[in-house]
Every structure is written in structure tokens, then in C-alpha cells.
């Protein structure tokens, strides 16, 4: 299996008036080509920053302190803005955000925006571009494509806008999609529909997806592997089966146990005491130690190294 993305020991901070935010601290993340890889953790743990690093859209106050972000073997941390525009963004890697409305232009019809997206990629006759646009909208299971094309974004529901966004993204034929909490703003039935579209893409294309969410239940539907993030570090990576049946890190265990109960949204859980620490002066040693029931003395002194405890099963805990 080829790795399309390899993040190695990435340390990234933000300079702010209150101090340095140590947002990512030694992140390791490998994504296999053609796989769906979930990235899960509570709000503020660094999921979006990880995705934004890959497409080169970090805020100006971001500082990369060390590490590598290899995309097909090339280190994106060495890319200029121009290289990101020409070689990566939209072309090789597309990112879909939580609010689809913000990415569609309200003054142009769906047809105009879709044609523009397709035109950027291929220089073909108008007629064949229209055919491509219709195929793309069919692919994301949008009904009544003819009338949809004449509509404007405000005439579409959130779920439809989300699927138009995916169709546009597919029009540029990227190798990888980073979906950052794409269903959080959608209601449950629309969410299920969106996941079905992704499942269909998984079965019919070689698209790689990094699926960012704080909802573990969503990942069971679509992901091959899952990485669990806590306070700027990946604490466990495993197949979706191992995450559920054989979770090793105390934080992952809490997450899994908590979704087996009533609610599956991490942010609403009270079962995990405490909250994600602020990343200005984060806890020393294992960043989870103030909330961990298994913590021993050295947990507050030693940063847990990543260990392989089984086939493709990595964990960063001093007691494993
Ligand atoms: N431009 C910025 N300046 C300072 N801190 C930031 C900036 N962007 C993000 N952060 C901080 O980095 C941490 C990780 O953020 P983020 O990746 O958005 O978390 P998540 O997506 O997991 O909710 C948070 O503590 C957030 O406040
Ligand atoms: S290293 Fe210590 S504090 Fe961290 S998860 Fe393991 S046992 Fe808990
Ligand atoms: Mg986020």
C-alpha cells in the first residue's frame, strides 16, 4: 500500500498576545492512498490546523517549528504559496468545510459555478463541459439535475449545497479530499445521505479521504483507519475495528465507551471529566494526564513516545 500523506513529528505553534499556543506537538499521521482515514478529537485539539497545513492555508501567526508533511513524498512545508496554488490546492488536495454556503457564490447559478469549476480543470468544448457537470451532479445523487442547474445557492438546502460542493471538487479530480466536520451543520437524515455519497465514491473511485470529526459514530460508517487526537498530539491510530474492539489509549477508551451510551457527540459528553487544556502552557509530559484515571507520576514528566502495539496499531501512552 502506498502512503499518499505522511506527517512526521510536526510541531506548530501560533504567536498570540496572550502567549504561544502550542497547537501541534509532534504529530505523526500516515494516510494510505485510496483509504478513508478518520481524525477524531474534541474541539480545539488541532484537527483543522492539521488539515489546513496540508493545503497551505494556515493563519499568518502560525510558526512551523519542526517536522515534515510529505505528500506523495514531497515535503509540503517547503512549498511556496505559488506551488500550493499550482500543484496542490484544489488539484491534488481539496478541502470541504463545515459551512457549504460560505464556499458557493450567491450571485451565480449552480450551472455557472459548476462550469467554471470544470473549465479550470479541462479545456474542452462547452457542450462536453455541460455533460461533465451533469454527470458530476448525478454522481453525488442530486435529483432533477436540469432544474437544479438553473438555481442559485439560496434556493438549495444545506445538504444539497454540500453535495454541489463535493461535485465541484470532484470536477477538479483531486487525489485527496480533506473533509473538515462536513456534516456538523446538517441534520441527521441529510448527514446519512451525505455519508452515502461518500461511501459510493469510496466504492467507485480511488479517492483518499481524511475525514475530520468530533463524532466517532460517523467514522464507523465510512473509515478504514482512525487517528485519535488529543491536545495537539495523535494518541492512537488503528483500524476502525481495533478502535472499537481493542482501544488501547485511556482517552480512546473513554471515547468509545461514551458513544456506546446515549449520545455520540463528544462535546456534549459529561462522562469524560475535565476538558481539553488550553494550548498556551499545556500540561507537561502526557497532555492527557490531568484527566487520566491511569496516570502515574512519570506521566506528568515524560512525553509518551508512539509505540506499535499490534499490526498498524500505534499508541502513545507510557503504560502500554
Ligand atoms: N490563528 C490562530 N492563532 C492562535 N491560536 C489558534 C489559531 N488557529 C487555531 N488556534 C488554536 O489552535 C488549537 C487547535 O485548533 P483547531 O485545529 O481549529 O482545533 P479543532 O479543529 O480540533 O477544533 C486551538 O487551541 C485553537 O484555539
Ligand atoms: S501516559 Fe499516563 S497519563 Fe497519559 S494516557 Fe498513558 S497512563 Fe494516562
Ligand atoms: Mg476544527
> What is the set of domains in the chain, with CATH numbers?
3-86+226-315 (3.40.50.300)
- The string of pLDDT tens digits covering residues 195-251 is 888 888 888 889 999 999 888 878 887 899 999 999 999 999 999 999 989 999 999
Instruction: From 290, 317, 320, give the residue whose CB has the most ligand 2 atoms within 8 Å, as the site to mutate.
Output: 317
What is the whole-number distance in angstroms between the Cα of residue 279 and the centre of ligand 2?
A: 18
Tell me: pLDDT of 101 over 90: no
Location of C-alpha cell 449545497:
161
Q: Which of 294, 298, 314 to mutate to test the pocket of ligand 2 (most atoms within 8 A of CB)?
A: 294
Query: At residue 267, does pLDDT exceed 80?
Result: no
Res. 157 pLDDT band, cuts 50 70 90:
confident
Please provide the average confidence, as pLDDT, over all residues in the chain: 88
Strand 19-32 to 225-230 pairing = unpaired
Q: Which of 272, 318, 320 to mutate to test the pocket of ligand 2 (most atoms within 8 A of CB)?
A: 318
Angle between helices 126-139 and 110-121 (to 10 degrees): 110
Give 51's pLDDT tier (boundaries 50, 70, 90).
very high
Coil, helix or strand at residue 214: coil
Shortest-distance atom of ligand 2 to CA 293: 8
Phi-psi region of 215 (alpha: psi -120 to 50; beta: other; left: phi over 0): beta
Pairing, β 225-230 against β 233-239: antiparallel
Looking at the CA of 45, name the nearest ligand. Answer: 1
Q: Is 275 in the pocket of ligand 1 (CB under 6 A)?
A: no
Please tell me the distance from the alpha carbon of residue 172 to that of residue 154, in angstroms, as a whole number: 24
- Least confident piece of the model among 46-50, 200-204, 269-273, 294-298: 269-273
Pairing of strands 208-213, 36-40: parallel
Kindly give the number of the ligand 1 atom that is closest to the alpha carbon of 62: 1
If you measure from the C-alpha of residue 47 to the centroid of ligand 3, how many angstroms do you get, rounded to a whole number? 6
Amino acid at each position: 500500500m502506498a502512503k499518499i500523506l505522511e506527517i512526521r513529528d510536526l510541531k506548530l505553534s501560533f504567536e498570540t498576545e496572550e502567549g504561544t499556543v502550542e497547537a501541534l506537538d509532534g504529530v505523526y499521521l500516515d494516510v494510505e492512498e485510496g483509504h478513508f482515514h478518520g481524525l477524531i478529537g474534541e474541539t480545539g485539539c488541532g484537527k483543522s490546523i492539521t488539515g489546513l497545513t496540508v493545503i497551505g492555508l494556515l493563519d499568518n501567526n502560525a510558526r512551523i517549528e519542526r517536522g515534515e508533511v510529505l505528500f506523495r513524498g514531497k515535503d509540503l512545508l517547503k512549498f511556496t504559496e505559488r506551488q500550493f496554488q499550482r500543484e496542490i490546492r484544489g488539484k491534488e488536495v481539496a478541502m470541504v468545510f463545515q459551512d457549504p454556503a460560505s464556499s458557493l457564490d450567491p450571485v451565480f447559478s449552480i450551472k455557472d459555478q459548476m462550469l467554471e469549476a470544470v473549465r479550470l480543470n479541462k479545456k474542452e468544448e462547452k457542450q462536453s463541459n455541460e455533460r461533465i457537470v451533469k454527470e458530476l451532479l448525478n454522481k453525488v445523487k442530486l435529483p432533477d439535475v436540469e432544474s437544479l442547474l438553473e438555481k442559485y445557492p439560496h434556493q438549495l438546502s444545506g445538504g444539497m449545497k454540500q453535495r454541489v460542493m463535493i461535485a465541484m471538487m470532484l470536477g477538479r479530480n483531486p487525489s485527496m479530499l480533506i473533509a473538515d466536520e462536513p456534516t456538523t451543520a446538517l441534520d441527521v437524515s441529510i448527514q446519512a445521505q451525505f455519508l452515502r455519497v461518500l461511501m459510493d465514491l469510496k466504492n467507485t473511485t480511488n479517492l483518499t479521504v481524511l475525514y475530520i470529526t468530533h463524532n466517532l459514530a460517523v467514522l464507523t460508517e465510512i473509515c478504514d483507519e482512525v487517528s485519535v487526537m488529543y491536545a495537539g498530539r495523535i494518541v492512537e491510530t488503528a483500524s476502525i475495528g481495533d478502535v472499537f474492539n481493542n482501544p488501547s489509549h485511556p482517552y480512546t477508551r473513554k471515547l468509545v465507551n461514551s458513544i456506546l451510551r446515549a449520545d455520540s457527540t463528544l462535546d456534549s459528553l459529561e462522562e469524560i471529566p475535565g476538558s481539553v487544556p488550553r494550548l498556551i502552557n499545556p500540561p507537561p509530559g502526557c497532555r492527557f494526564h490531568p484527566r487520566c484515571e491511569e496516570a502515574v507520576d512519570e506521566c506528568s514528566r515524560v512525553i509518551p513516545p508512539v509505540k506499535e502495539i499490534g499490526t498498524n496499531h500505534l499508541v502513545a501512552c507510557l503504560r502500554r
